[in-house]
C-alpha cells in the first residue's frame, strides 16, 4: 500500500521513523512543506489550503491509500476538512498525548509544549476540557514560538535554543511538573535539551508509536499483509537540511524538490 505523510518540515520524520519500525511492505511518501513553514504561525484557512494541496499532490502522483497528517497544527486545523473531502482515504492525525501524560504523572502536574495554532485550536481545547472534567490535574501550557525554526536549522542544543527552553520551562520546573507532552512532531528532536533544562526526572510524551500502530490497524482492515520491504521517498517544497534528515532517520535519503 502507498502511504502519504506530511508536515511543515522535518518534524513529521519523527513519526516516519516510528512507522518504519512498525510497517512492512509499504511505500511511504513524505512531503516536507518547508516553503510554507512554520504552520504554527499561519491562519487556519492557510493551513487547510496547504493540507488539501499536499493531499491532492499525493493522490495524483502516488495514488495513496492512507494519509498521515504528521503535524499537530495541521491536524487541529484541517483534519475535519480532509476527512470530509476524502471519505475513502484512510486519514490519521496527530494529537497531543494528554491522556497518557495524565495517567503517567505522579504529581498530576502536566506540561504541554506546542505551537500557538495547536494550543488555540478547537480540538485541543475540547480535549483539555474533557480530560479536566475526568481527572484532577493541573496543566501548564506553553506556546513555543520560534522553536520549530531552530530545529529546522539544526540548532537542537545551541545556546539560543537552550535559552528559549529555559524561559519556557522554568515555571514547569518550579511547579514540579513530572510529565511533559511534546505537542509538535518537531519537539522530540530537542528532548535531550528539555531534560537538561528541567533538571529533575521528567517523562516526555510523544505519539509516534501510537500513530504507527493505528495506521497498521487500519491497513489490516483493508487487507494489508505486513511483510516485505518498505520504501521511503522524501520531497520538500522548499529548503531542507539533508544533515537533519540523516540525523532523524539514521541514514542518507535522497530528497526531491517539488512544486505543489
Residues known to be catalytic: 71, 184
CA distances from 54 to 11, 64, 144, 191 (A): 16, 12, 25, 29
191, 113 in Cβ contact below 8 A?
A: no
Instruction: Work out whether strand 2-7 and strand 27-32 pair parallel, antiparallel, or are unpaired.
Output: parallel
255, 52 in Cβ contact below 8 A?
A: no
- Give the Cα separation of 215 and 237 in Å (integer): 25
- Give the Cα separation of 89 and 68 in Å (integer): 10
Burial zone of 243 (CB within 10 Å; 0-12 exposed, 13-18 middle, 19+ buried)? exposed
Instruction: Work out whether strand 231-236 and strand 203-205 pair parallel, antiparallel, or are unpaired.
Output: unpaired
φ, ψ for residue 184, nearest 5 deg? -155, 135
Task: Locate 214 and state its grid cell.
Answer: 493505528
Task: Locate 33 and state its grid cell.
Answer: 512543506
- Give the Cα separation of 98 and 128 in Å (integer): 8
- Give the Cα separation of 192 and 81 in Å (integer): 35
- Give the Cα separation of 191 and 198 in Å (integer): 11
Amino acid at each position: 500500500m502507498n502511504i502519504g505523510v506530511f508536515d511543515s518540515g522535518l518534524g513529521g520524520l519523527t513519526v516516519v521513523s516510528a512507522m518504519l519500525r512498525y510497517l512492512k511492505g509499504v511505500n511511504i511518501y513524505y512531503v516536507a512543506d518547508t516553503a510554507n513553514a512554520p504552520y504554527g504561525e499561519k491562519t487556519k484557512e492557510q493551513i487547510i489550503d496547504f493540507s488539501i494541496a499536499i493531499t491532492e499532490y499525493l493522490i495524483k502522483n502516488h495514488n495513496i491509500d492512507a494519509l498521515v497528517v504528521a503535524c499537530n497544527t495541521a491536524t487541529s486545523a484541517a483534519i475535519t476538512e480532509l476527512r470530509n473531502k476524502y471519505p475513502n482515504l484512510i486519514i490519521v492525525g496527530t494529537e497531543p498525548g494528554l491522556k497518557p501524560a495524565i495517567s503517567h504523572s505522579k504529581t498530576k502536574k502536566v506540561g504541554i509544549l506546542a505551537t500557538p495554532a495547536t494550543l488555540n485550536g478547537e480540538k485541543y481545547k475540547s480535549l483539555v476540557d474533557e480530560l479536566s472534567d475526568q481527572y484532577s490535574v493541573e496543566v501548564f501550557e506553553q506556546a513555543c514560538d520560534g522553536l520549530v525554526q531552530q530545529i529546522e536549522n539544526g540548532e537542537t542544543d545551541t545556546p539560543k535554543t537552550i535559552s528559549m527552553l529555559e524561559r519556557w520551562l522554568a515555571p514547569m520546573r518550579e511547579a514540579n511538573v513530572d510529565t511533559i507532552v511534546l505537542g509538535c512532531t518537531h519537539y522530540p528532536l530537542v528532548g535531550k535539551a528539555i531534560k537538561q533544562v528541567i533538571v529533575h526526572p521528567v517523562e516526555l510524551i510523544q505519539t509516534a508509536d501510537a500513530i504507527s500502530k493505528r495506521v497498521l490497524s487500519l491497513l489490516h482492515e483493508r487487507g494489508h499483509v505486513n511483510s516485505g520491504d518498505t520504501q521511503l521517498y522524501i520531497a520538500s517544497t522548499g529548503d531542507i537540511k539533508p544533515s537533519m534528515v540523516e540525523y532523524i532517520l539514521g541514514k542518507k535519503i535522497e530528497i526531491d524538490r517539488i512544486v505543489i
